[in-house]
Amino acid sequence: MNIHTIANHLNGLGDNSSTGQRFDCYPIDGDVEVLQVNVVGREEIPIFVSATENQILCISYLWGEDEVVQESRTEMFETMLGLNIPMPLSSFAKIDDKYVLFGALSLDASMLEIEQELSVLSDNCLEVIDEMADYLK
């Protein structure tokens, strides 16, 4: 499984995705190949997909450290930890100074599973930002 196979599949889906979402994919050059997946209508919060030796990682950036209301930072962490298990398929993480939601898939995952992962991750992102807006500037 590589990101080009995923890109071709998602771009080819058009209106026929199993999740009702439309995906636009753009490969990003770099040391590690990354695929930017835009869910149509939600271009502001793209998902970045990369494949390592043993897993496919789907990551969405939520907000930067500079957007967090510092006084409620601890409360925000507790909410994140509390949500980590009930939130389907996605988990919170931090990369550098950015908070992210991510999901990891096996390299053997089917295209349908990848579609579902991306759709759920996108839904989760919107919901998380909505729910946690009070912790943000």
Partner 1 sequence: MGILNKILTAFRGGATEIGQNIVDANATRIFEQEIRDAEKHLTKAKRELTDVMAKEMQAAREIERLKRTIAEHEGYATQALEKHNEALALEVAQKIAELEQQLEEQQTANASFSDHAARLKDLVKKTERQLADYQRQLSMVKTTESVQKATASITDSFASSNSKLLNAKDSLERIKARQQQFDDRLKAAEELETENSDKSLKAKLAEAGIGEQKTSANDVLERLKAKKGS
The residue ranges that bind partner 1 (CB under 8 A) are 28-34, 36, 41-42, 44-45, 48, 50, 52-55, 57, 59, 61-64, 67, 95-96, 98, 126, 129-130, 133, 136-137
Q: Which is nearer to partner 1, 32 or 81 (CB)?
A: 32
Q: How far is CA 34 from the centre of its chain?
A: 13
Q: Which is nearer to partner 1, 15 or 96 (CB)?
A: 96
Q: Which is nearer to partner 1, 16 or 137 (CB)?
A: 137
Q: How far is the CB of 107 from partner 1 (least distance, A)?
A: 12
Q: How far is the CB of 6 from partner 1 (least distance, A)?
A: 14
Amino acid at 60: S
Q: How far is the CB of 133 from partner 1 (least distance, A)?
A: 6
Q: How far is the CB of 81 from partner 1 (least distance, A)?
A: 17
* Structure letter (DSSP) for residue 132: T
Q: Which is nearer to partner 1, 89 or 132 (CB)?
A: 132
Q: How far is the CB of 82 from partner 1 (least distance, A)?
A: 19
Q: Which is nearer to partner 1, 19 or 36 (CB)?
A: 36
59 by Cβ neighbours in 10 Å (0-12 / 13-18 / 19+) ranks as buried
The token duo for 8 is: 């071709």
3-state secondary structure string across 11-74: HHHCCCCCCCCCEEEEEECCCCCEEEEEECCCCCCCEEEEECCCEEEEEEEEEEHHHECHHHHH
Report how far residue 31's alpha carbon sits from residue 57's, in angstroms, rounded to the nearest whole number: 16
